[in-house]
């Protein structure tokens, strides 16, 4: 079953039973948005341009790799980047956690959450801050660390902060017209919510996409968000690093013909398994856990048994999973991390003025251009 797109009588019955709860969820979501749009609840403007990267579904569209890619590009243009996250499933209950000050990582992964920690490691020059109220963490990013551009990671529904650009990600594999609101489906908001987007990005586009499916998805987006720009991207495997020796890297193509066990605790583990298979790896076993799973010594012992039974040569996991595994606990276990990069198939979802450091730093409109650009 694809969550939100039930198959079979039993799954359709369960979805029907959950429809009243979905309706109630939808009313609550609409009321919250209306409170902000009508001015009943205050919105906050940060002292820097704000880019929100989000989606209308629960997890698995690729927000984190897109955040890493765009933050890296902004840093390359000379920007001081702050990345704000709520730190989902973090252990610390502190109002604010400084994950990285742009010079070093300051918080352990369990205190800040796996995704902020992963971002801080992948983009070491960015300031990364975790907290539930992003107007507060944003004020710290701009006021204390002098960030001149702020990225809201998973920020589409966080309307308390005024943003200059709303980027909404839609997975190529999704069927949004036939999905339903939580809890019957995966939608956080009705599909019509994409009308708030400045740009919609179709993610996880395969190397040889079904053009009819892609065109249909583009039509659906255009119908709901006629004023939004559209782009697309794929996530391409490029490197393989042993977890206990991250300085060593080989090309991902080295997996061709290798018997592997796939280890994943992410929202859509099937996409990871498909990536391994696309590289020619022989996936002889899988260990799949819930998203954000914290790995235990028992999990790793089970992996060692799997290696013996399956005859696998290697265990391969994702970058997100790797930060939740104690590297000292994998001694003797051939565990490597598959790294991916974002490959853009359409326009880069950043305005030209934001990539220029000599002018336009105060320009706040998504489509505006600084004088003389």
Asked if residue 360 is part of any domain, the answer here is no
Read off the pLDDT of each residue in 181-187 and give the average, rounded to a whole number.
Answer: 82
161 to 41, 49, 144: CA distances (angstroms): 11, 11, 18
Residue 2 has pLDDT above 60, yes or no: no
Q: Which residue has the higher pLDDT, 328 or 75?
A: 75
**pLDDT level of residue 5 (50, 70, 90 thresholds):** low
Q: How many domains does the chain have?
A: 2
Q: How much is the pTM?
A: 0.88
Residue 53 · residue 63 · CB < 8 Å: yes
- What is the pLDDT, as a whole number, of residue 373? 32
Is 133 among the domain residues? yes
- Residue 340: name the closest of 207, 205, 202, 240 by CA: 240
What is the pLDDT at residue 372?
Answer: 32
CA–centroid distance for 33 within its chain: 23
The answer to whether residues 37 and 28 touch, using CB atoms and an 8 Å cutoff, is: no
pLDDT at 198: 94
In which element (H, E) is residue 167 found? Answer: strand 165-171
Q: Does residue 25 carry a pLDDT above 70?
A: no
The residue among 182, 205, 227 that closes a domain is: 227
Q: Which pLDDT value is given to residue 245?
A: 85
In a domain, 41, yes or no: no
Grouping H, G, I as helix, E, B as strand and the rest as coil, residue 45 is: coil
Overall size of the chain counted in residues: 373
pLDDT per residue as tens digits for the range 189-217: 889 999 999 999 999 999 999 999 999 99
For 61, residues 6+ apart whose C-beta sits below 8 A from its C-beta are 55, 169, 170, 171, 203, 204
Judge whether 372 lies within some domain: no
Q: How far apart are CA 272 and CA 103, in angstroms?
A: 31
The contacts of residue 69 (CB under 8 Å, 6+ apart) are 341, 342
d(CA 144, CA 329): 37
Tell me the residue range of the domain where 209 lies.
50-227
pLDDT for 26 equals: 53
Q: What is the mean pLDDT of the chain?
A: 87
Return the closest-CA partner of residue 120 out of 325, 354, 351, 320. Answer: 320
The helices-and-strands tally (H runs, E runs) of the chain is: 9, 13
**Among the listed ranges 88-97, 111-120, 352-361, which one has the minimum average pLDDT value?**
352-361
Residue 127 DSSP symbol: E
Q: Which of 300-320 are b and which e, b meaning 16 or more Cβ less than 10 Å from the residue's Cβ?
A: beebeebbeeeebbbbbbbbb
Mean pLDDT of 105-120: 97
CATH of the domain at 94: 3.40.50.300
Whether 124 and 205 share a structural domain = yes
Identify the pLDDT of residue 276: 97
- The reply to whether 171 falls in a domain is yes
**pLDDT tens by residue, 142-178:** 999 999 999 999 999 888 899 999 999 999 999 999 8
Q: Which of 8-12, 56-60, 143-147 has the lowest mean pLDDT?
A: 8-12
One domain, residues 124 and 266: no
User: Are residues 204 and 236 in contact, defined by beta-carbon separation less than 8 angstroms?
Assistant: no
* pLDDT tens-digit map of 323-368: 999 888 888 899 999 999 999 998 889 888 788 654 444 444 433 3
CATH number at residue 277: 3.40.50
Is residue 348 a part of any domain in this protein? no
Q: Do 246 and 122 touch, CB atoms closer than 8 A?
A: no
Looking at the domain assignment, is residue 370 inside a domain? no
**Rounded to the nearest 5°, which phi and psi values hold at 16?**
-65, -40
High-pLDDT (> 70) share of the chain, %: 84
């Amino acid at each position: 079953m694809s969550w939100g797109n039930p198959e079979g009588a039993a799954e359709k019955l369960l979805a029907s039973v959950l429809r009243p709860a979905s309706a109630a969820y939808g009313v609550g979501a609409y009321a919250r948005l209306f409170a902000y749009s009508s001015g009943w609840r205050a919105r906050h403007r940060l002292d820097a341009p704000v880019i929100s990267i989000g989606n209308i579904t629960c997890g698995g569209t690729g927000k984190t790799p897109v955040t890493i890619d765009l933050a890296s590009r902004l840093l390359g243009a000379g920007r001081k980047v702050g990345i704000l996250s709520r730190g989902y499933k973090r252990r610390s209950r502190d109002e604010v956690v400084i994950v990285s000050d742009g010079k070093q990582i300051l918080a352990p992964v369990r205190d800040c959450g796996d995704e902020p920690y992963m971002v801080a490691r992948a983009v070491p020059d960015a300031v990364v801050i975790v907290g539930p109220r992003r107007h507060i963490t944003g004020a710290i990013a701009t006021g204390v660390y002098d960030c001149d551009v702020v990225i809201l990671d998973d920020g589409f529904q966080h309307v308390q902060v005024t943003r200059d650009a709303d980027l909404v990600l839609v997975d190529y594999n999704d069927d949004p017209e036939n999905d339903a609101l939580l809890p019957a489906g995966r939608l956080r908001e009705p599909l019509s919510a994409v009308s708030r987007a400045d740009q919609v990005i179709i993610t996880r586009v395969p190397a040889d996409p079904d053009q009819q499916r892609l065109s249909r998805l583009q039509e659906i987006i255009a119908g709901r968000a006629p004023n939004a720009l559209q782009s697309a991207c794929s996530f391409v495997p490029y490197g393989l690093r042993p977890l206990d020796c991250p300085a060593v890297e080989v090309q991902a193509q080295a997996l061709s013909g290798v018997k592997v066990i796939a280890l994943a605790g992410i929202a859509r583990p099937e996409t990871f398994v498909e990536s391994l298979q696309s590289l020619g790896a022989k996936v002889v076993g899988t260990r799949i856990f819930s998203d954000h799973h914290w790995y235990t010594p028992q999990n790793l012992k089970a992996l060692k048994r799997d290696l013996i039974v399956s005859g696998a040569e290697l265990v391969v996991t994702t970058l997100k999973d790797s930060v939740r595994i104690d590297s000292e606990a994998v001694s003797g276990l051939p565990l490597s991390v598959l790294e991916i990069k974002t490959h853009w198939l359409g326009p880069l979802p950043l305005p030209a003025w934001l990539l220029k450091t000599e002018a336009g730093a105060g320009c706040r409109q998504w489509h505006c251009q600084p004088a003389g650009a």
